[in-house]
Amino acid sequence: MALDDQVDGVDEAGVQPITRTPKGSGRRLRGAIAHYLGTQIVSGAIAPGEKLTGEVANAEALDVSRSAYREAVQVLTAKGLVESRPKAGTRVLPRSRWNMLDPQVLAWAFSGEPDTDFVRDLFELRAVVEPAAARLAAERRDRDDVKAMRDALAKMRRHTLATDAGRAADRDFHDALLEATHNNALVALSASIGAAVSWTTKYKQRARALPRDPVPDHIKVFDAIAAGDADAAAAAMRTLVDLALEDTRLSM
Amino acid sequence: MALDDQVDGVDEAGVQPITRTPKGSGRRLRGAIAHYLGTQIVSGAIAPGEKLTGEVANAEALDVSRSAYREAVQVLTAKGLVESRPKAGTRVLPRSRWNMLDPQVLAWAFSGEPDTDFVRDLFELRAVVEPAAARLAAERRDRDDVKAMRDALAKMRRHTLATDAGRAADRDFHDALLEATHNNALVALSASIGAAVSWTTKYKQRARALPRDPVPDHIKVFDAIAAGDADAAAAAMRTLVDLALEDTRLSM
DNA sequence: GGACGCGAATAAGTCCGACTAAACCGAGAC
DNA sequence: GTCTCGGTTTAGTCGGACTTATTCGCGTCC
């Protein structure tokens, strides 16, 4: 939650895409620059190995100060997208060095047309992690965990997945589930997976009227975890992820 | 591989830990600042919710320019460690917002005394992901994948885990295995897990003379994958991770 | 007396211009 | 031919000025 870059359409009428300052309603400037460069890179417009224009030239082309531009590049560097050295310039690193799990990078990846192969990979990761997480949650959940999950489930039922509140509740449910594993590494993964899932569900919306009601499946998972039945929890979660994959696949 | 911050001991004789410019042999300056602040935060010296000193003051205290300091803070922001807003200052975010899977953050986490609970969590994540990865690899590996794994295994056998080359070969083996899954999301995870594992093995070395020879276990995994036996690959990998956990636990 | 709104104080955000340092590349010496 | 040594290019650092966005306190109005 709380990604801090949301930029409107990019290209002006002009030929070259120049970042305009959206004026009064602009996010932080370096955020916009990072978003612009990040999407360029992730989308492949600037291929790995290529070196992007020099700071001075590029900053001027984007009509921003060199400081702001540099800070944006630092962000990309921190996420493993680029590497810069004196004289050699700033080059895009091979994809294997990118922090694909970083929520912002995922956001950039999904800001254009999403790569269907990558979506498949993400669901495969979910299919590996979430059932195992459900199993652990069933073994370790305490009273508070159960309550958090129950509350999220109730909200989910009240609003549907068609509303923002409903999707937020869905995320809350999964967050609470991961939290119930009492494993910080898994919780960290949940942030990434959650971000990815929320992007895919956005695309699911595009093909309107999602056919299936996801609540019953969630309830099955919840019941198994509350009952402490690890095997049942894992199995229920597996089917839940499989169904989500199927829904997503249909809408792409 | 290729983390770009390596700083020697931090505190001077003086009372307050001031970053000195390590002179001739200094890494990039903002890297050092980011490392300094990052370890402070991850180690808990600056607790979540606390707000750190203002840019001007802190930059002067560290004897660096405000630009360099700011760029370092941008890195922390990109990794979800802090958030800064005008007037309110820069605050440390709750742990749940941290990108714990980021290799650099992991490096900072392991630069001091590692949190044994977190190490346990990491191995639990390994135990979830790697067997599943081995299963996928067994189903999808192609000729090149097998060759890469065989080569890494050979190098591993030649040098032992006691040498740098040996540990590098170990990492290569796991990287090749993840690559063989042909799943980019899993590959991305491998970077994080690999980084974490390399840190823990460093601590394993501390308790010298690791009792077990890991090569036979790796061979079992390799054979199963080469043979395309998914179940056997998963099982072999599970025991391998379990043994690694046991070794690590003994040395902490 | 409490809520609302307005205005200052403050800290981050942006801009600018100069200087430093590092790495690459080509010219010259051996 | 290789090696070395500068020169050139590009990122890195510096510093200082100015802008913008919040927050907080104050006063006013209900």
Strand partners, B90: B52, B84
- pLDDT tens track for A17-76: 434 444 433 578 999 999 999 999 999 999 999 999 999 999 999 999 999 999 999 999
pLDDT digits (tens, 9 = 90+) for B140-171: 999 999 999 999 999 999 987 777 788 889 88
Residue A209's pLDDT band, with cuts at 50, 70 and 90, is: low
Flag if A71 and B70 touch (Cβ within 8 Å).
yes
| Residue in B75, B128, B189 closest to A101 by CB | B189
pLDDT 10s digits, B198-234: 887 777 766 665 667 888 999 999 999 999 999 999 9
Q: Terminal CA-to-CA distance of chain B, rounded, Å? A: 24
Counting other chains too, the contacts that A222-229 makes at CB distance below 8 Å and 24 or more residues apart are A222/A149, A222/A150, A222/A153, A222/A173, A224/A134, A224/A138, A225/A134, A225/A137, A225/A138, A225/A141, A225/A146, A225/A149, A225/A177, A225/A180, A226/A141, A226/A146, A226/A149, A226/A150, A227/A138, A228/A138, A228/A139, A228/A141, A229/A138
Q: What pLDDT, on the 0 to 100 scale, is given for residue B25?
A: 37
Question: Where on strand D do bases come within 7 A of a protein Cβ?
Answer: 8-17, 20-23
pLDDT digits (tens, 9 = 90+) for B59-96: 999 999 999 999 999 999 999 999 999 999 999 999 99
CA distance B165 to A121: 31
Give the closest nucleotide to A59 (alpha carbon vs C1'). C15
Q: How far is the CA of A169 from the C1' of D11 (A)?
A: 46
The phi, psi pair for A21, rounded to 5°, reads -80, 115
Range B132-147 average pLDDT: 96
How distant is the alpha carbon of residue A38 from its chain centre? 14
The alpha carbon of residue B162 is apart from the nearest alpha carbon of chain A, in Å, by 26
Q: What is the pTM of this model?
A: 0.87
Closest residue by Cα to the C1' atom of nucleotide D19? B86
User: In angstroms, how far is CA B59 from the centroid of its own chain?
Assistant: 28
Q: Is residue A1 predicted with pLDDT exceeding 90?
A: no
